[in-house]
Chains A and B, each alone.
Chain A
Amino acid sequence: MPILTKDESNALLKKVLSYSKADECEVNLNGTDSSNVRYARNAVSTSGSISQTSLVVSSAFGKKVGVATINEFDDASLQKVVLRAEELARLAPENPEFVSFLGPQTYGPSATFVDATAKATPAIRADLVGQSLATAKASKMVAAGYFEDITGFAAMMNTKGLFAYNTSTNVNFSITARTEDEKGSGYATRGYNDITKLDTKKATQIACDKGLRSATAKAIEPGKYTVILEPAAAAVLLENIFFGLDARQADEGRSFLSQPGGKTRMGEKLVDERVNIYSDPQNPDLPTSPWTGDGRAQEKVSWIEKGVVKNLTFSRYWAEKKGVKAIPGPDGVIMDGGTKSIEELIKGTKKGILVTRLWYIRPVDPQTLLLTGLTRDGTFYIENGEIKFPVKNFRFNESPVIMLNNLEELGKVERTVSVESNTNYLIPPMKIRDFTFSSLSDAV
């Protein structure tokens, strides 16, 4: 599928809107070309290419809304899809929470598209995976990994005069290297907009070194430990805070941000004062779309500043009801860090555990954001500033809110990818005291 240009998208969307007889009509157009290579047991297992485009029409008569989609783009199909959306809208019950579509908006520039990524070929992918496989074999490790690149465009227009357009590219890579006797396992993950930044060889070498060092782990007693969480491990815990910033849930009393009597923790100190969490679509290391699917502009927003909750996310309906700005949820989140490397954080640790990766994170109690999950692919005991030996994996029961109150130190920010949500973040490694490990696992 060709990626439609801004002008082509504009012309197509104008044509669709010209068929509308509804009070209001909004049209979203999306297309992606994605390709992936998957490997395991030191060989490619499956790989593929998928091309998809879709056009979504939302029509409203008063507060009655209908949505219809099509993936054919001739005039007759476009007329048909508009008609269907209007039929559905007439059949639908009134939605009292429907908010009239947005008028024209101003968006910042976009840096989400990189030409080199869009030009990736099967041969380039095979080469990148080949380098990873060769590195693993040279270390006598068994590699399983995944490479994926996606090129996409998105455009929207409505009868209120709004038009938005963006193109984006992404490349995600992850690698698990296991020792041949299956006693050690290491992991690394990388995410970029620009494929030329991806060094599969280097990432694989990190996973191999971790895997080799983690072999024949010792069991130590579960309990409360000082931990150093690498960014990939911290991300999967912290994103539960990021996903839980919804103002309505908090106002309704069913969130960790709720307070008795219908109040929320907005404006209150929630975590250690060294914690600053924000989003910025213009950040050069984590560019994200300057607009959301409902046409709102994505701006730089501070979520937690010096430990205090500064902003919550609002649907347009809830914002209108509360008379506040409708701040959309972020596409990528950034947490400020310090200057130290992970090695330097280890050096300053008397006794603790280094955690590479956390796995199977699930909420246990939504009111405290208590989460459970396990360490995986490289867990090490630290004593007097040095890694002493690999340890068996632990199950933890911990809340990221409690954890950020037990903050000891932050390291240097890195871009990382959540294995749970596939979202990219800029997050520092962090040293946390009294992290609760509740049992041991035999898993490698």
Chain B
Amino acid sequence: MYLAGMGSTAAMLVGIPGMGHAIAPERALETVDVALKKQLADVALNAARSQGATYTDVRIGRYLNQFVVTREDKVQNIVNTESYGLGVRVIANGGWGFAATDKMQKDDIAKAAALAVSIAKENSRLLTERVQLAPQKGYGEVSWKAPIEKNAFEVPIKEKVDLLLGVNDAALKGGANYINSFLFMVNEQKYFASSDGSYIDQDIHRIWPTFFITKIDAATGKFETRNALSAPMGMGYEYLNPRPQDKIKGITTLYKGRYDMLEDAKDAARQATEKITAKSVEPGKYDLILDPSHLWLTIHESTGHPTELDRVLGYEANFAGTSFLTLDKWQSKKFNYGSKLVNIMADKTQVGSLGAVGYDDEGVQCGKWDVIKDGILVNYQAIRDQAHIVNLNASQGCCYADNWSSVQFQRMANISLQPGKEKKSIDDMIKGVKKGIYIIGDGSFSIDQQRYNFQFGGQLFYEIKDGKIVGMLKDVAYQSNTQEFWNSCVEIADESDYRLGGSFFDGKGQPPQSSAVSHGSATTRFNGVNVINTARKIG
């Protein structure tokens, strides 16, 4: 549906359902024995079958989070959370049922499985058609681990605190009035078993360092903010060890596979100050040069969501909405989603991405596929009970649940714009723009429930005149229509500029679930986009 905003006081994170419970840090290094997980999973599989389930899958999840939360010279919170339990999903009388429990005794697990079957049977009278699952072979006992270099949960708390307080100090010395900085670390230890004969053990890691800086102009009482240009990544703590080859130097430093939080904080403090006196944008049509730290969000909202098959079919109509990319547009094989330069791929295997896993949450091995090819809509993102609708004989592996206590459903794969084939740098692109704006970082975002009309802000806006950056702008947001926007795409930088952005908190479903997803791109130009001025006055 949409991305949940992250509040500036992260103390509230502890209360978010699905964030789990607080635990001592050393417990994060424990794992649950795979033989025990298999035993418990078999209890649920057998109990469900004996109650009349025709298909069952079981997920035993241990979800670990660590949050380090600071502001200025203070550590506000260090929270370690763990959530451990089991979710069992069944098909009985042709319909789905689900139950979850954190009581991990065999009797309790068998009861949960029986409850799932009874729910499926109760609701089967409200079905119009029976669930059709794409065939899936069992993989036997297999495992997958994220290829990280340094487990963030093994890094001492002190090292993390020192990093953040150093970042805060640099920002304050650089002129910021306030800074909130955060490290979020996630480890999903997931075990999946199904009546198809799969027993899949997976270990997934994610990390997100970020900050928010505020600069206040004492004279006017006006304030400006600048958020970090980091990306949440499917990586270990190595993401925070900067390397020169991962920096793109320009009007501000941009980051590839590693992030220099200290350098970014210094840049941010200077830029927040510069924003106070920056020129308020003149509304009108501009050519936009969009950095990957910004464009990921536009891709997420305008390509990622409308190509989700559950939205297309109406399963999200009551909340997240449906999609303008209806089946007839896909069937026509000529729906002009974007210009010929626009090639967008779904990829559940991309190393370092948030969505990378070996197998999805219904036991399907993951892969990659074209979604938009040379500007034409060619495919969606599907799971097992939808595959037949788009003539696929197997799921594309897009099933995910954010916790053992949540039922799995179709979630977005990493959806990325492929880089340009010709050699082209950011500077080459700016040179060609007569009247434009170069936008870096993600800001305000909003899109309608069928993904036509959107509005995006950003962190940094630079005015381009006659091929040169002439100064900073503020109060900028652009509005467009998805198809019109992607058809105005005229230039994409080459592979050397390709970077990932993403979100920990893509929200969808009822009850709402969060999913983490990455979107890659190189710097891209869009011509003649409508820019509005967002400055207002109150009081």
Chain A residues engaging chain B, CB cutoff 8 angstroms: 1, 34, 36-54, 56, 66-71, 84-85, 87-88, 91-93, 95-97, 122-123, 125-126, 129-130, 133, 142, 144-146, 148, 174-176, 178, 182, 185, 187, 252-254, 256, 258-261, 265, 268, 270, 293, 359-370, 372-374, 376, 393, 395, 397, 399, 401-402, 419, 438-444
A41 contacts B315, CB within 8 Å?
A: yes
Which residue of A67, A95, A402 contacts B75 across the interface (Cβ within 8 Å)?
A: A95
Range of interface residues on chain B?
35 or more
Instruction: Please measure, in the bound complex, the distance between the C-alpha atom of A34 and the C-alpha atom of B161, giving whole angstroms.
Output: 37
Give the tally of cross-chain contacts (CB within 8 A): 255
A47 is contacted by which of B123, B216, B535 (Cβ under 8 Å)?
B123
A395 to B445, CA, bound (A): 12
B510 touches A52 (CB 8 A): no
Is B539's beta carbon under 8 Å from chain A?
yes
Q: Is the CB of A372 within 8 A of B539?
A: no
Given the complex of chains A and B, what is the CA–CA distance between A145 and B318 in angstroms?
Answer: 6
B116 touches A48 (CB 8 A): yes
Indicate if the CB atoms of B536 and A402 lie closer than 8 Å.
yes
Chain B nearest CB from A310 CB (Å) reads 16
Chain B contacts of A439 at CB under 8 A? 453, 479, 530
Further contacts, 13 of them, CB under 8 A, given A368-B537, A374-B449, A440-B453: A47-B96, A48-B407, A52-B405, A142-B314, A361-B446, A362-B445, A365-B475, A369-B538, A376-B448, A395-B448, A395-B479, A443-B449, A443-B453
CB pair B24–A44 under 8 Å, yes or no, is no
Q: Which residues of B are interface residues toward A (Cβ below 8 A)? A: 2, 5, 14-15, 21-25, 27, 74-76, 78-82, 84-85, 95-103, 115-116, 118-119, 122-123, 125-129, 157, 161, 177-178, 214, 216, 218-223, 225, 313-319, 321-322, 324, 405, 407, 409, 444-453, 455, 457, 475, 477, 479, 481, 510-511, 530, 532, 534-539
A441 touches B317 (CB 8 A): no
- If the complex has contacts A438-B479, A443-B449, are A91 and B444 also in contact, measured as CB distance less than 8 A? no
Q: A443 near B321 (CB under 8 angstroms)?
A: yes
Q: Is B122 a contact of A123 with CB atoms below 8 Å?
A: yes
Residues of A within 8 Å of B457, CB to CB, are 364
- Select one of A43, A69, A376 contacting B129, CB under 8 A: A43
| B534 close to A376 (CB less than 8 A) | no
Q: A69-B23, A71-B21 are in contact. Are A265 and B539 (CB under 8 A)?
A: yes
A442, B449: Cα distance in complex, Å: 10
Can you name 24 A-B pairs with beta carbons within 8 Å? A41-B315, A44-B96, A46-B96, A46-B409, A47-B96, A56-B21, A69-B21, A71-B102, A87-B24, A122-B122, A126-B122, A253-B221, A259-B221, A265-B539, A360-B446, A364-B534, A365-B534, A365-B535, A367-B222, A393-B453, A395-B455, A402-B538, A440-B453, A443-B449
Verify A148–B115 contact, CB threshold 8 A.
no
B223 to chain A minimum Cβ distance, whole angstroms, is 5
Q: Is the CB of B313 within 8 A of A88?
A: no
**Nearest-CB distance from B90 to chain A (Å)?**
11
Given contacts A130-B126, A439-B479, contact A253 B315 (CB under 8 A): no
Q: Is the beta-carbon distance between A178 and B317 smaller than 8 angstroms? A: yes
Report yes or no: A372 in contact with B123, Cβ–Cβ below 8 A.
no
Other-chain contact of A367, B23, B100, B223 (Cβ < 8 Å): B223
CA distance A441 to B221 in the complex (A): 36
